[in-house]
Amino acid sequence: RRSRPKRWPAVRSSRFCPEVAGGLPTPRRPAELVGGDGQDVLDGTARVVDDTGRDVTAEFLAGARRALEAARRTGCTEALLMPRSPSCGRGEVYDGSFTGALTRGDGVTAALLERHGITVRPAPGV
């Protein structure tokens, strides 16, 4: 039996969708951040709406909190998240116009994880 090289620490991964964890269905309507990014949603100065105008901020916040709970429970120190997502985007997200335009910022879950010391990176190759 070969042992794992010491320079490669044990890596565990898991799949978690904060939007589903927050109570949204699959499939679901497209949603974008309006009035700011995920940091602003956490601060209560922006919101998340779907393409029909329905406010889904509460679901996104609930999912972000559940993601943080799961990360803490498993000792997670780094998260690879879906780029540009209103939950998981890191560095850039859709701008709230539903035109495909991007703006600088983070998604709600990405922002919450970062606030609690978990390194967030976009998933490679997505």
Q: Where is pLDDT greater, at 111 or 15?
A: 111
Q: At 124, is the pLDDT very low, low, confident or very high (cuts 50, 70, 90)?
A: confident
Query: Is residue 42 scored above 50 in pLDDT?
Result: yes
Percent of the chain with pLDDT over 70: 90
Q: Identify any residues that bridge with 94 across adjacent strands, giving them in sequence order.
A: 102
Comparing 16 with 11, the larger pLDDT belongs to 16
Q: Where are the alpha helices (DSSP H) in 1-126?
A: 18-21, 38-43, 57-74, 108-115
Three-point CA angle 25, 111, 18, nearest 5°: 20
Q: Name the pTM for this structure.
A: 0.89
- Of the pLDDT bands very low, low, confident and very high (cuts 50, 70, 90), residue 8 is very low
